[in-house]
Structure 1
Amino acid sequence: MKGKEVLSAIKKDMDEHVGEKVLLKANSGRRKVVVREGILEKTYPNIFVIRVDGTDNSSRMVSYSYSDILTQTVQLVFKSNNAAIG
């Protein structure tokens, strides 16, 4: 039961940062790490969505689960106050 409490605490913390710029560091497996800037668009009960700027004035949406933060597959640093999650 403790796992659900931790995930809900992560979601509650993320809810406070919706609309802010974020630095995303995601482990995509086998020594491949993606580092991008984006904006935290929306939080849902099980996932959160980040709008990432592309190379040619395009943007795309990526989504991750709160368990990705718990397992440190994804790390977020918010630009407004350098708060880190994950």
Structure 2
Amino acid sequence: MVDKLHLQQLKKDIEALKGEKVLIRANKGRKKMIEVEGILESTYSNIFVVKFPVDRECKQYRCVTYTYSDLITNTVEIILCRTNTKVGVM
């Protein structure tokens, strides 16, 4: 069981990464995983937004939202590209 203190610390950790390049590993169900690099665009009370380039020329972007509970349940993993460290691990 995750307590409120851990959730608040997780939110602070994600807030500190705004504007950083991150690698997202997301479970899309039925043994399907996606792995993409993007920029942590913004954070809110229940969600955070990651911006991904759609094409190789980076002319178009797609914004995807994830919840903090996705991190807690390991549905989504965030890895900081600069240091290659996983964020939100207990």
Pairing 1:48-59 to 2, within 5 Å after superposition: 48-55=48-55, 57-59=59-61
Q: Decide whether aligned partners of structure 1 residues 2 and 25 sit closer, same or farther in structure 2, where only a CA change above 3 A counts.
A: closer
Count of paired positions: 86
What is the CA deviation profile of residues 22-80 of structure 1, one whole-angstrom value per residue up to 9, with x for unaligned ones? 00000010011011010000110110000011126311000000010000000011112
2:9 paired with 1:23: no
- State, as a whole percentage, how many aligned pairs show the same letter: 44
Pair 1:5–1:21, CA change in 2 (3 A): same
- Listed as ranges, the gaps of 5+ residues in structure 1 are none
Aligned CA RMSD, in angstroms, stands at 1.6
> Which residue does the alignment assign to 2:38?
38
3-state secondary structure, aligned to 2:24: strand
Q: Report the CA distance shift for 1:30/1:58 in structure 2 as closer, same or farther (over 3 A).
A: same
Letter in 2 for 1:66: Y
Instruction: Determine the structure 2 residue equivalent to 1:12.
Output: 12
CA drift at 1:83: 2.2
TM-score (structure 2 length as normaliser): 0.87
DSSP-derived class of the 1:63 partner: strand
* Structure-2 residue corresponding to 1:3: 3
TM-score (norm 1): 0.90
Q: Distance in 2 between matches of 1:6 and 1:32?
A: 28
Amino acid in structure 1 at the alignment position of 2:24: L
Specify the code of the residue in structure 2 equivalent to 1:67. Answer: S
